[in-house]
């Protein structure tokens, strides 16, 4: 049942090409238009949405942050992302033109369920992105978009995360199509690039030995920092969470731009810092700014490990180790840059002799508030 792997987590990391592929499957018609019939929500209603609030916890909330970047860019509708357990307590502004998008692998997370119920009472439309058929959150929502990652057994989420990001892209592209915000050709180009992602994830998996070797070597590190920017920011947060959860190492993810506002004081001789580097083909000068962040931490003694796009030579001089991922559209990069960080955490925890599938103090589905 572990497909020849020693742990469910390793198996599920390796299931990711299929999880993304299956989540994309059957969601376009013969002419290449997105059809999300299963949504059970009137397209007219989706056209009238004036604001989206994404609600989730933990890893699912990081998928929600990626969703925000993509949906705002493609659909031009404001998107807020909030942790479900904070949402109800701030008197949020919601009306019937607000769309609540909940992200939950299990569909049973009590914090998220309570937040969705609260939003419904306030008159919002609710849409669930969920991996578990017939679970409570999709049952209580107006609409549902299932991720097709298959059952996730390991407590630490991996393939469900990539499937949630994939489904969020589909939702964004569908709304852009409905509202005429992208040309049909642009949507088809993005979908074509999405369909190439599973093969590219496989390439990252095939290069896993380099990452596992580094993890073995770093098993005694007391603390690891992760930096990212734009969609690389939630990836950095996710890389840190994986390490805390299963390897019990102090880890923190930061927005790279925030470094100079405080966290750079943490950098000391030998401090490991992972940097998720934006595509050199992305917007503005983000890439250059992150490269200069790498230089800054390295100048203060950090051991820099970068996750960069294939062909990005600018990082080489400032990185002790570089993990390259294949090229794709800048917004789609989290589907690739997350994978080395998952492999790293999994290998490091295994090296320490921990049970990666059942980390201490954690449950797969958190059904209490
Ligand atoms: C992290 C992890 C948790 C869950 C969170 C939400 O690896 O598994 O942070 O992501 O508890 O769970 P769901 O998505 O089931 O609502």
Q: What is the pLDDT of residue 39?
A: 84
pLDDT at 334 over 90: yes
Give the H/E segment covering residue 60. Answer: helix 58-75
Q: What is the pLDDT of residue 273?
A: 98
Ligand 1 within 6 A of CB of 64: no
Ligand 1 within 6 A of CB of 342: no
CA of 277 to the centre of ligand 1 (A): 25
pLDDT at 30 over 90: no
Q: What is the pLDDT of residue 168?
A: 98
How confident is residue 281, by pLDDT bands cut at 50, 70 and 90?
A: confident
d(CA 302, CA 320): 10
**What is the ipTM metric for this complex?**
0.98
d(CA 65, CA 81): 6
Residue positions annotated with a catalytic role: 364
In this structure, are residues 144 and 38 in contact, taking their beta carbons and an 8 Å threshold?
yes
Give the H/E segment covering residue 345. Answer: helix 334-351
CA of 175 to the centre of ligand 1 (A): 26
The closest of 42, 255, 238, 61 to 142, measured between CA atoms, is 42
Q: What is the pLDDT of residue 301?
A: 97
What are the residues facing 276 on neighbouring strands? 307
Q: What is the DSSP string of 304-317?
A: EEEEEETT-GGGGG
d(CA 144, CA 127): 5
Strand, coil or helix: 357: coil
| Tokens read off for 230 | 């734009």
Ligand 1 within 6 A of CB of 157: yes
| Tokens read off for 130 | 């969920």
CA of 214 to the centre of ligand 1 (A): 26
pLDDT digits (tens, 9 = 90+) for 76-107: 999 999 999 999 999 999 999 999 999 999 99
Mean pLDDT of all residues belonging to the chain? 96
Ligand 1 within 6 A of CB of 365: yes
Q: Which atom of ligand 1 is nearest to the CA of 59?
A: 10
| Tokens read off for 40 | 């059970």
């Amino acid at each position: 049942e572990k497909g020849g792997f020693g742990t469910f987590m390793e198996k599920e990391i390796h299931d990711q090409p299929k999880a993304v592929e299956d989540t994309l499957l059957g969601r376009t018609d013969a002419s290449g238009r997105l059809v999300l019939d299963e949504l059970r929500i009137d397209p007219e209603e989706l056209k009238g949405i004036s604001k989206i609030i994404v609600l989730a916890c933990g890893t699912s909330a990081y998928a929600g942050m990626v969703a925000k970047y993509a949906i705002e860019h493609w659909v031009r509708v404001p998107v807020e992302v909030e942790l479900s357990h904070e949402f109800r307590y701030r008197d949020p502004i919601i009306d019937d033109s607000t769309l609540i998008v909940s992200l939950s692998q299990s569909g049973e997370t009590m914090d998220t369920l309570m937040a969705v119920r609260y939003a419904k009472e306030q008159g919002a439309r609710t849409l669930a992105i969920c991996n578990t058929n017939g679970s409570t959150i999709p049952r209580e929502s107006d609409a549902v978009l299932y991720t097709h990652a298959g059952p996730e057994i390991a407590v630490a989420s991996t393939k469900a995360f990539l499937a949630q990001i994939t489904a969020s892209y589909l939702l964004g592209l569908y709304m852009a199509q409905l509202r005429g915000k992208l040309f049909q050709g642009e949507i088809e180009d993005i979908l074509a690039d999405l369909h190439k992602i599973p093969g590219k994830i496989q390439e990252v998996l095939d290069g896993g030995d380099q990452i596992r070797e580094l993890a073995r070597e770093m098993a005694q590190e007391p603390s690891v920092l992760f930096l990212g920017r734009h969609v690389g920011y939630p990836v950095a947060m996710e890389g840190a969470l994986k390490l805390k959860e299963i390897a019990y190492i102090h880890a923190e993810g930061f927005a790279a731009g925030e470094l100079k506002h405080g966290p750079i004081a943490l950098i000391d001789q030998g401090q490991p810092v992972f940097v998720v580097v934006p595509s050199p083909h992305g917007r503005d000068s983000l890439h250059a700014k992150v490269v200069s962040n790498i230089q800054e931490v390295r100048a203060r003694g950090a051991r820099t490990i970068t996750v960069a796009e294939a062909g990005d030579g600018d990082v080489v001089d400032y990185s002790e180790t570089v993990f390259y991922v294949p090229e794709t559209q800048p917004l789609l990069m989290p589907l690739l840059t997350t994978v080395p960080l998952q492999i790293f955490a999994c290998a490091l925890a295994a090296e320490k002799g921990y049970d990666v599938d059942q980390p201490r103090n954690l449950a797969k589905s958190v059904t209490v508030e």
